[in-house]
Amino acid sequence: MLDALTLATGVAALALAAWCGFAAYRDQPTKDWHFIGMAVVALLALVQLVVGIVQLARGEKPDQGTTIFVAYLIGSVACIPAVALMSLTERTRWGSVTAAAGGVVLAVLEVRLFDIWGG
Amino acid sequence: MTSSEQGTRAEKTEKTGKKSGKRRLIGGPGMLLVWLYGVMVVGAVSRSAVQISTEFDKAPLAYSLSAVAGVVYGFITYSLVRGGDTARRAAFVCCALELAGVLVVGTWTLADPSAFPDATVWSDYGMGYIFIPVLLPVTAMYWLRKGVLRQQLPETSA
């Protein structure tokens, strides 16, 4: 369950990065649709946080330690909302670049989460 | 009268960090820099906090260096967000320090791996962080230098 979610969130994050990167390539700021996309990815990360905590509560142990696992879960939830705010402030192509960078960072976090959980 | 008015406006701009690109360091590409630096702050600080509190004896040098890196990143991020000329200069100096740190520590980890039983943020020139630690200060210094040029130009519409 958690591995599937990690994969889904990672792929969604990369898709978001490509989408926002395309907007930056066309010299456009992020638009409503981009923010809806960000909301979807952020929601996935939030579901992942909840599922991860439930797994921990059930007594399952991540390979590389609970603290690091929870820290990465929280980091992935915070990641997209942070870039969303920044791209709201920066209404140029650079806002789109920042959002794209946020997607890439989240994808990296997901890869790390996969390792930490020991999938 | 006009000059004092200008003074208040400048102060206001500095405080809010919004409007007029004059003192703002996070417009345009600067926003991307703030994001990447922010990520590095969280990465380096939380990593070293965990490692120092749980297994400091394993690799004291490596973990301390990570903590120092985190503090430097934190200061640069704060300076970028704060804006203004002093902050710009301070951030520029810190970026130079950071670049020197990455190069020295990177070379050190390659030359004497035994001193580093565990990796730091700056090991192998930041390879574990897709070389962001070595690319970031170069980009940031270019951006902050460009800020000087922009200040001398008349304000653009953006």
Q: How do residues A31-46 score in pLDDT, each as one tens digit?
A: 999 999 999 999 999 9
Are the Cβ atoms of A71 and B50 closer than 8 angstroms? yes
| Mean pLDDT (whole number) for A5-16 | 96
Q: How far apart are CA B151 and CA B154, in angstroms?
A: 7
Closest by CA position to A39, among listed A47, A28, A29: A47
Domain boundaries, chain B: 26-147
Q: Minimal Cα–Cα distance from A3 to chain B, Å?
A: 23
> Hey, are the CB atoms on B32 and A101 less than 8 Å from each other?
yes
Contact A94 B38 (CB under 8 A): no
Per-residue pLDDT for B3 more than 60? no
CB contact under 8 A, B50 and A108: no
Q: Is the pLDDT of residue A4 over 90?
A: yes
pLDDT of the residue at B144 = 87
Say which range, A51-55, B10-14, B27-31, B128-132, has the weakest mean pLDDT. Answer: B10-14
Alpha helices in chain B (DSSP H): 2-16, 29-55, 60-82, 85-111, 132-152
CB pair distance less than 8 Å for B35 and A101: yes
Pick among B19, B24, B26, B31 to test the A interface (most A CBs inside 10 A) = B31
> Which pLDDT value is given to residue B23?
63
Q: Is B22 or A80 the better-scoring residue by pLDDT?
A: A80
pLDDT at A34: 96
Contact criterion met (CB below 8 Å) for A15 and A107: no
Does residue B1 register a pLDDT over 70? no
Contacts of A75 in chain B (CB under 8 A): 42, 46
Determine whether the interchain pair A75/B35 forms a contact, defined as Cβ–Cβ distance below 8 Å. Answer: no
Residues of chain A contacting B156 with CB distance shorter than 8 Å? none
The residue in chain A having the minimum alpha-carbon distance to the alpha carbon of residue B48 is: A68
Q: Tell me: pLDDT of B21 over 70.
A: no
Residue with tokens 């001193």: B115
Q: Virtual CA dihedral for A107, A64, A5, A100, nearest 10 degrees?
A: -10
Q: Cα separation of A66 and A48, whole Å?
A: 15
Name the pLDDT band for B28 (thresholds 50, 70, 90): confident
Sort out which chain B residues have CB atoms less than 8 A from A94's CB and list them: 27-32
Cβ contact (<8 Å) for B50 and A68?
yes
**pLDDT grade for B4, boundaries at 50, 70 and 90:** very low
Residue B120 CB: number of other CB atoms within 10 A? 29
Hey, is B86 helix, strand or coil?
Answer: helix
Chain A: nearest CA to B51, how far in angstroms?
A: 10
**ipTM > 0.85?**
yes
Q: Quick check: A98 and B32 CB within 8 A?
A: yes
pLDDT tens-digit series, residues A45-92: 999 999 999 999 999 999 998 999 999 999 999 999 999 999 999 999
pLDDT digits (tens, 9 = 90+) for B69-108: 999 999 999 999 988 888 888 999 999 999 999 999 999 9
* CA-based nearest residue in chain B for residue A106: B39
pLDDT of residue B127: 86
Residue B15: pLDDT over 90: no
> Which domains does chain A carry?
2-117 (1.20.120.80)
Q: Dump pLDDT digits (tens) for B112-155.
A: 988 888 888 888 888 888 888 899 999 999 888 866 545 544 44
* DSSP classification of residue A36: H
Q: How many CB pairs under 8 A join A and B?
A: 39
